[in-house]
């Protein structure tokens, strides 16, 4: 399975996901600044993965001392605003930096621990998610964006459940939305599915409703970037539309996310800050301008109200908000 990063001898190597599936290029980060830049530019993306990357970024800052770690934590948290896993990981690292002893050794150890826990959480979510589907039946699942190994460093959240369904003989086929504007579904999820020989079909985002109308989807499974206290969920733009479509077609709509995606400080989805990205992501395609000089709305995420969610699956429990 493809990993989004690895650490070796003082360097954190990040697979540049912007170039997938055509090129496998690694960015060698020696500073927290370089890690923050990789997060900002989506070289590394996906809520749990950016949390883990930020943790390693702080370990890279540790040889410069505690003040450098504090400064790095401030700019790493600002790299992207919506996925709460980023600030969750940074807070965990800062708590460790208060301990006495070798700062670098303890921060590196904590970053490794965060990654290892994520891998274990992915496995537990895959088991719990797959248990919701009957043995003996084969399901057609729709997913959006990429909530796979490249978004988590493990087997994935939503894609982890899909992988487990496949292992258990319960998956007929996964349908993947291409996920405009940056095509995480087409470039990354499709790449993961093809690499694992999982039967998969790529569609454009606008085809999902029609596929449901044709009775070709049994369940929708997606990841999350932040879950509010009332169980409203922020995830990649387009998720809300899928939830509405699922509701209209009476199809179960599942969120799969680790407990670290819950934000105890956010009461409802209305309080979640949605990242707005460069208009060129919409007006250009692979660097080629494909729209006139026009106003653009480019939110990176949307919020699905809890009443549209059948279940939220974490490594600890299954919440049923809908």
Minimum CB separation from ligand MRU for residue 277, in Å? Answer: 8
Q: Quick check: 48 binds ligand MRU (CB under 6 A)?
A: yes
Task: Give the 3-state DSSP-derived string for the chain, with helices as H, strands as E and coil as C.
Answer: CCCCEEEECCEEEEECHHHCCCCCCEEEECCHHHHHHHHHCCCCCCHHHHHHHHHHHHHHHHHHCHHHHHHHHHHHHHCCCCCHHHHHHHHHHHHHHCCCCCHHHHHHHHHHHHHHHHHHHHHHHHHHHHCCCCCCCCEEEEECCCCCHHHHCCCCCHHHHHHHHHHCCCEEEEEEECCCCCCHHHHHHHHHHHHCCCCEEEECHHHHHHHHHCCCCCEEEECCCEECCCCCEEEECCHHHHHHHHHHHCCCEEEECCHHHECCCCCCHHHCCCCECCCHHHHEECCEECCCCCCCCCECEEEECHHHCCEEECCCCEECCC
Q: Which of 83, 86, 114, 162 binds ligand MRU (CB under 6 A)?
A: 83
Residue selected from 236, 303, 308, 312 as contacting ligand MRU according to rule CB under 6 A: 236
Residue nearest to ligand MRU (CB): 223
The single residue of 225, 232, 263, 302 carrying the catalytic annotation is 225
| 278 catalytic residue (yes or no) | no
Q: Which is nearer to ligand MRU, 32 or 42 (CB)?
A: 42
Q: Which long-range contacts (CB under 8 A, 24 or more apart) does 17-26 make?
A: 17/42, 17/43, 17/44, 17/45, 17/150, 17/184, 17/187, 17/188, 18/42, 18/43, 20/150, 20/187, 20/188, 20/191, 21/187, 21/188, 21/190, 21/191
> Does residue number 152 form part of the binding site for ligand MRU (CB under 6 A)?
yes
Asked if 235 interacts with ligand MRU (CB under 6 A), we say yes
Q: Which of 73, 97, 149, 157 binds ligand MRU (CB under 6 A)?
A: 157
CB of 100 to ligand MRU, least distance (A): 35
- Least distance CB 267 / ligand MRU (angstroms): 21
Q: Binding string, 130-149, against ligand MRU, x = CB under 6 A?
A: ---------------x-x--
Among 15, 38, 47, 190, binds ligand MRU (CB under 6 A): 47
Residue 160 binds ligand MRU (CB under 6 A): no
Q: Find the shortest distance in angstroms from Cβ 121 to ligand MRU.
A: 10
**Residue closer to ligand MRU (CB basis): 44 or 107:** 44
As measured in angstroms, the least distance from the Cβ of 131 to ligand MRU is 19
Closer Cβ to ligand MRU, 217 or 224, answer by number: 224
Instruction: Say how many C-beta atoms besides its own lie within 10 A of residue 37's C-beta.
Output: 17
Per-position x/- string for 176-215, each x denoting binding to ligand MRU as judged by CB under 6 A, each - no binding: --------x-------------------------------
In whole angstroms, the minimum distance from the beta carbon of 152 to ligand MRU comes to 5
Query: In terms of CB distance, is 283 or 298 closer to ligand MRU?
Result: 298
Q: Which residues bind ligand MRU (CB under 6 A)?
A: 45-48, 83, 145, 147, 151-152, 157, 184, 222-225, 235-236, 300
Q: Which residues are catalytic?
A: 225
């Amino acid at each position: 399975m493809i990993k989004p990063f690895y650490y070796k001898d003082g360097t954190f190597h990040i697979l540049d996901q912007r170039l997938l599936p055509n090129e496998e290029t690694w960015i060698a980060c020696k500073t927290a600044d370089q890690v923050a830049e990789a997060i900002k530019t989506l070289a590394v993306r996906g809520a749990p993965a950016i949390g883990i990357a930020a943790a390693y970024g702080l370990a890279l800052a540790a040889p410069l001392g505690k003040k450098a770690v504090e400064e790095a934590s401030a700019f790493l948290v600002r790299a992207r605003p919506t996925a709460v896993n980023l600030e969750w990981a940074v807070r965990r690292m800062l708590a460790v930096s208060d301990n006495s002893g070798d700062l670098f050794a303890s921060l590196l150890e904590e970053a490794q621990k965060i990654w290892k826990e994520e891998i274990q959480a992915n496995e537990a979510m895959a088991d719990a998610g797959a248990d919701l589907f009957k043995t003996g039946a084969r399901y057609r699942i729709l997913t959006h964006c990429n909530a796979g190994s490249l978004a988590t460093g493990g087997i994935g959240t939503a894609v982890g459940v899909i992988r487990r369904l496949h292992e258990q003989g319960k998956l007929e086929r996964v349908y993947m939305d291409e996920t405009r504007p940056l095509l995480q579904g087409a470039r990354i999820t499709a790449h993961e599915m093809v690499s694992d020989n999982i039967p998969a079909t790529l569609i454009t985002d606008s085809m999902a409703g029609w596929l449901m109308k044709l009775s070709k989807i049994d369940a929708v499974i997606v990841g999350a970037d932040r879950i509010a206290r009332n169980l409203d969920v922020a995830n990649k733009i387009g998720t809300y539309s899928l939830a509405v479509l699922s509701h209209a077609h009476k199809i179960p709509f599942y969120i799969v996310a680790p407990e670290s995606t819950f934000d105890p400080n956010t009461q409802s989805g209305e309080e979640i800050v949605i990242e707005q990205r460069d208009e060129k992501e919409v007006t250009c395609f692979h660097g080629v301008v494909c729209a006139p000089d026009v106003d653009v709305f480019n939110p990176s995420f949307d919020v699905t109200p809890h009443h549209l969610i059948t279940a939220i699956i974490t490594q600890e429990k299954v919440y049923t908000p809908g």
